[in-house]
Amino acid sequence: MREKEEIREQIQKKYTGIALNNSNSNCCSGSCGCNETTTDIQGISLKLGYTEDDLSNVPSEANMGLGCGNPTAIAALKEGEVVLDLGSGGGIDCFLSREHVGETGFVIGVDMTPEMVKLARKNAEKRGYTNVEFRLGEIEHLPVTDESVDVIISNCVVNLSLDKMQVFKEAYRVLKPGGRLSISDIVATAKLPQKIQQDLELFAGCVSGAEYVGEIELMLHNAGFKDVRMTPKDNSKEILKTWVPDKNIEDFVASFIIEAVKEENKSEN
């Protein structure tokens, strides 16, 4: 395994490039769901599970064709809820969440890349959204208070973390009792070949850092979550085949819907 700092630098460099390119309406620089030869962002997003209505209701710059699913489609968001998006990028899932939670709800996006946060804030300002906030921070150390969030979403980001257990501990900390986790992510379904494990480009591209599905489930339980559900996305292979066509990554990783619940406080007798 490469040195952690080298991996982090590669990840930040890649997503900085994507944010800057997207600001210039030119996608993109090779990452989850978007490679250098791909320009059909609308088509990519539809395959990931977004609808045409979804895409028409967000700022166009917020949709980068990134991710491995659509967490807002599975989160069952309700009016007035507080939503936290881990690795919010240009803000697409935050803006879609806002449509569900309404004016009485609140949405927080956290991203480690300053350029992404700047882009997302710009997108929010264009639409005049006052109940969507973007914060610079690491998902392993969330800039969010304890027990303040109803729902956590994320789209193909936890696999990038070098300390996934810490991510789930932080998610548990900030969720209210009874709160829930609804994320789309890449997990390993077989042992990754050494060449893939050592490929920095594939790490930043949401492949090499994928943890085995059973280990993710165990981490969630160890963090305190209940009702853990791991569901493979129906068209996972179709999505992944377009990412790195010559490496057969779909034989080793898959797009999963990951859901879990923080147990409600038991009333004192």
Do the domain assignments include residue 269? no
Q: Which structural domain range is residue 182 located in?
A: 4-261
115 falls within a domain: yes
- 131 and 98 in contact (C-beta within 8 Å)? yes
User: Does residue 268 lie within any of the structural domains?
Assistant: no
Residue-wise pLDDT tens for the chain (269 aa)? 457 778 888 888 888 888 887 643 333 334 454 444 445 888 889 989 999 999 988 888 898 888 999 999 999 999 999 999 999 999 999 999 999 999 999 999 999 999 999 999 999 999 999 999 999 999 999 999 999 999 999 999 999 999 999 999 999 999 999 999 999 999 999 999 898 888 888 888 899 899 999 999 999 999 999 999 999 999 999 889 888 877 889 999 999 999 999 998 765 44
Cβ-contact 65, 90 below 8 angstroms: no
Q: 243 lies in a domain?
A: yes
Q: pTM of the entire structure?
A: 0.89
Domain count, the chain: 1
User: For residue 267, is it within any domain?
Assistant: no
Residues 6+ apart with CB under 8 A from 159: 185, 186, 187, 206, 207, 209, 210, 211
CATH number for position 166: 3.40.50.150
For 194-248, what is each residue's pLDDT tens digit? 988 888 888 888 998 999 999 999 999 999 999 999 999 999 998 898 888 778 8
- Strands 175-188 and 253-261, sheet pairing: antiparallel
